Amino acid sequence: MEQVTIIGQYSIIIAGLTIAIGSIGPAIGEGMALAKALNAIAQQPDESNTITRTLFVGLAMVESTAIYCFVISIILIFANPFWNHVVQQAGG
């Protein structure tokens, strides 16, 4: 097999693994944060506005990890730096 084909195959496989593994942690973290927030709101209904606001800020921070994994997978598929290097070395 040519190097370009191997680089393309590995890029797609690694991009898929990056999204699959990189989204597990944020999903578990968001679920735990939501459960704790609902528990806190049930115990202190008067503070629900503050708890909800803090929850949304925290969820945005946790979700940024999944977004970074998505960006890395898109870079691997569409703007792979190794791809251009191999094509230039092959003389194409």
19 domain residue, yes or no: yes
Query: pLDDT tier at 61 (50, 70, 90 boundaries)?
Result: very high
CATH no. for residue 78? 1.20.20.10
87 domain residue, yes or no: no
Question: For residue 92, what pLDDT is reported?
Answer: 59
Query: pLDDT tier at 11 (50, 70, 90 boundaries)?
Result: confident
Q: How many CB atoms lie under 10 A from the CB of residue 39?
A: 11
Question: For residue 51, what pLDDT is reported?
Answer: 94
Print the domain residue range for 17: 3-82
Q: Domains in the chain: how many in total?
A: 1
92 domain residue, yes or no: no
In angstroms, the CA 8 to CA 13 distance is: 9
Residue range 23-49, pLDDT digits in tens: 999 999 999 999 999 999 999 999 999
89 domain residue, yes or no: no
HEC string of the chain?
CCHHHHHHHHHHHHHHHHHHHHCHHHHHHHHHHHHHHHHHHHHCHHHHHHHHHHHHHHHHHHHHHHHHHHHHHHHHHHCCHHHHHHHHHHCC
If you search the block for the tokens 């008067």, which residue do you land on?
A: 46
